[in-house]
């Protein structure tokens, strides 16, 4: 504000000196009196000198009166100038646990959400983020959040689909042609957000609110002792997965169990499982998948559209100021870009490392195997659609996919063709 007053003073004096006039006055008595033409010529010697001095004194005094008034007006105006929007909310710290180990790339992504919350809140909303096991086990974060043991959690809906299989539709659902980003768009603009709230709060009566982030790339079929050529090669294998993927793979003849990521490799070493999938090349390599298997099958319909579920105890959430509630919600959207960019950078680099440094053989899952997966999805949906709420969600996704996937598939460039043009022989 002092700079503003200085500028006003400088400009006023400059104007008065340049134009030979005083700045505007509040009334006529403040204005300098008229000077006769004789006085102004200076031809009467002493009188001219006195007149000039008088003029100068009057001008200085008048400018002082003006500047004093201007400063007062400016100071008064300062009280009405809108100040920056500074949060008046008290500083709050929320305790959040993830379903991921401390070294998981998913923990890195959860931290990106935390960073955005804290920066958007100007430090007045903080999240104390903890890795899996710090308070409860990976699959128990929803219960802990519901009971208020945790304020929040960073996980996926497939981890609690045992309470209601419709949960898996918000992160491990059927593929009608949409990818994960397009199903995330369904959550925001196709009615998914409202259906999720209905499931959590009305059907299951849970004290929770939740948001979604990070459209995950298709999850690989997994790690095997040998290349999978047909669906028959999968039958009888002891294989861990989660959510509705459990039903799909069981329908194809596999013996399915559910395990957190950190327990997969030990289970394989003990012979509890014979093959496995987790999520992506980075996560898989960080827990040592390449040390127990050298065959990696990429591409599958069992988990092709998953996202992170970020949940909060509803009573705790409702107690927060509206601005903090908005930040917790919209930071999930902000984290999408950072999470996805992190995934593209890490997943692609680590896949190359697995091939070039660890001797892993990477294969594309045969189309015949994926066709059998779609048939298994048909069977599972026919059975589960007997539940009215489950069917309502599936119908909503199917209607969305018919329109959105049609647009995308009709319009998208053939990226595989372009890749083969510039990097021939790379894709097998």
What is the per-residue pLDDT for 111?
Answer: 98
Cβ atoms 13, 63 nearer than 8 A:
yes
The two structure tokens encoding residue 188: 């925001």
What is the per-residue pLDDT for 319?
Answer: 97
Number of folded domains that form the chain: 1
Domain-embedded: residue 24? no
What is the per-residue pLDDT for 88?
Answer: 61
Domain-embedded: residue 330? yes
Assign 3-class secondary structure to 248-316: HHHHCCCEEECCCHHHHHHHHHCCCCCCECCCCHHHHHHCCHHHCCCEEEECCCCCCCCCEEEEEEHHH
Cα-Cα-Cα-Cα torsion 392, 398, 402, 408, nearest 10 degrees, comes to 120
Query: What distance in Å separates the CA atoms of residue 332 and residue 334, rounded to the nearest whole number?
Result: 5
The two structure tokens encoding residue 363: 């294969």
Domain-embedded: residue 339? yes
Q: Which residues pair with 312 in a beta bridge?
A: 152, 209
Domain-embedded: residue 119? yes
Q: Give the Å distances, CA to CA, from 377 to 141, 248, 300, 313, 398.
A: 28, 6, 12, 33, 13
Domain-embedded: residue 88? no
What is the per-residue pLDDT for 89?
Answer: 61
What is the per-residue pLDDT for 265?
Answer: 82
Domain of residue 402: give its range: 104-219+302-422
Cα-Cα-Cα-Cα torsion 389, 392, 396, 398, nearest 10 degrees, comes to 110
What is the per-residue pLDDT for 253?
Answer: 96
What are the two backbone dihedrals, phi and then psi, of residue 211, each rounded to the nearest 5 degrees?
-135, 165
What contacts 287, CB < 8 A, 6 or more positions away?
101, 261, 262, 264, 265, 278
The two structure tokens encoding residue 252: 């194809």
**CATH code for the domain in which residue 400 is found:** 3.40.190.170
DSSP reduced 3-state for 400: helix
**Predicted confidence pLDDT, tens digits, the chain (428 residues):** 444 333 433 344 443 444 443 333 334 444 444 434 333 333 333 333 334 444 444 444 444 444 444 444 444 444 444 445 555 668 999 999 999 999 999 999 999 999 999 999 999 999 999 999 999 999 999 999 999 999 999 999 999 999 999 999 999 999 999 999 999 999 999 999 999 999 999 999 999 999 999 999 999 999 999 999 999 999 999 999 999 999 999 999 999 988 877 788 888 888 889 999 999 999 999 989 999 999 999 999 999 999 999 999 999 999 999 999 999 999 999 999 999 999 999 999 999 999 999 999 999 999 999 999 999 999 999 999 999 999 999 999 999 999 999 999 999 999 999 999 999 999 97
Cβ atoms 163, 155 nearer than 8 A:
no
Query: What distance in Å separates the CA atoms of residue 154 and residue 134, rounded to the nearest whole number?
Result: 13
Query: What distance in Å separates the CA atoms of residue 330 and residue 220, rounded to the nearest whole number?
Result: 30
Cβ atoms 189, 178 nearer than 8 A:
no
DSSP annotation of 216: P
Domain-embedded: residue 259? no
Domain-embedded: residue 98? no
DSSP annotation of 69: H
What is the per-residue pLDDT for 83?
Answer: 46
Domain-embedded: residue 173? yes
What is the per-residue pLDDT for 195?
Answer: 98
Query: What distance in Å separates the CA atoms of residue 358 and residue 196, rounded to the nearest whole number?
Result: 41
Q: Sign of dihedral through CA atoms 14, 20, 22, 24?
A: negative
- Cα 208 to the chain's mean position, in Å? 19
Indicate yes or no: pTM above 0.75.
Answer: yes
Q: Which residues pair with 222 in a beta bridge?
A: 297
């Amino acid at each position: 504000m002092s700079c503003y007053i200085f500028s006003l003073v400088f400009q006023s004096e400059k104007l008065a000196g340049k134009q030979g006039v005083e700045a505007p006055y509040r009334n006529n008595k403040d204005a300098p009196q008229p000077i006769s033409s004789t006085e102004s010529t200076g031809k009467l010697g002493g009188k001219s000198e006195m007149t000039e001095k008088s003029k100068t004194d009057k001008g200085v005094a008048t400018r002082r009166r003006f500047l004093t008034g201007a400063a007062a007006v400016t100071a008064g105006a300062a009280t009405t100038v809108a100040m920056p929007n500074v949060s008046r909310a008290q500083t709050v710290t929320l305790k959040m646990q993830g379903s991921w180990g401390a070294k998981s790339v998913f923990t890195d992504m959860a931290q990106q959400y935390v960073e955005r919350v804290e920066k958007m809140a100007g430090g007045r909303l903080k999240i104390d983020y903890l890795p899996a096991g710090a308070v409860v086990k990976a699959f128990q974060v929803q219960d802990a959040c519901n009971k208020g043991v945790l304020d929040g959690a960073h996980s996926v809906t497939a981890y609690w689909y045992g309470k209601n299989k419709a949960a898996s539709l918000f992160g491990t659902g059927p593929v009608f042609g949409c990818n994960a980003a397009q199903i995330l768009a369904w959550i925001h603009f196709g009615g998914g957000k409202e259906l999720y709230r209905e499931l959590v709060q009305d059907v299951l009566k849970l004290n929770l609110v939740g948001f979604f982030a990070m459209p995950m790339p298709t999850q690989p079929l997994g790690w095997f002792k040998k290349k999978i050529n047909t669906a028959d090669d999968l039958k009888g294998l002891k294989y861990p997965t989660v959510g509705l993927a459990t039903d799909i793979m069981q329908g194809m003849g596999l013996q399915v169990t559910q395990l957190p990521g950190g327990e997969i490799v030990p289970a394989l070493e003990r012979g509890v499982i014979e093959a496995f999938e987790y999520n992506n090349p980075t996560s898989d390599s960080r827990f040592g998948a390449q040390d127990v298997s050298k065959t990696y099958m990429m591409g599958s319909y069992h988990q092709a559209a998953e996202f992170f579920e970020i949940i909060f105890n509803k009573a705790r959430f409702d107690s927060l100021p509206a601005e903090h509630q908005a930040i917790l919600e919209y930071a999930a959207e902000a984290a999408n870009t950072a999470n996805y960019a992190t995934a593209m950078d890490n997943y692609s680099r680590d896949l190359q490392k697995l091939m070039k440094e660890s001797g892993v053989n990477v294969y594309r899952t045969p189309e015949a195997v994926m066709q059998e997966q779609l048939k298994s999805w048909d069977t599972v949906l026919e059975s589960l659609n007997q539940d009215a709420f489950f069917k309502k969600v599936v119908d909503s996704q199917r209607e969305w996919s018919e329109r959105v996937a049609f647009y995308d598939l009709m319009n998208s460039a053939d990226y595989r063709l372009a890749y083969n043009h510039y990097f021939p022989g790379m894709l097998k």
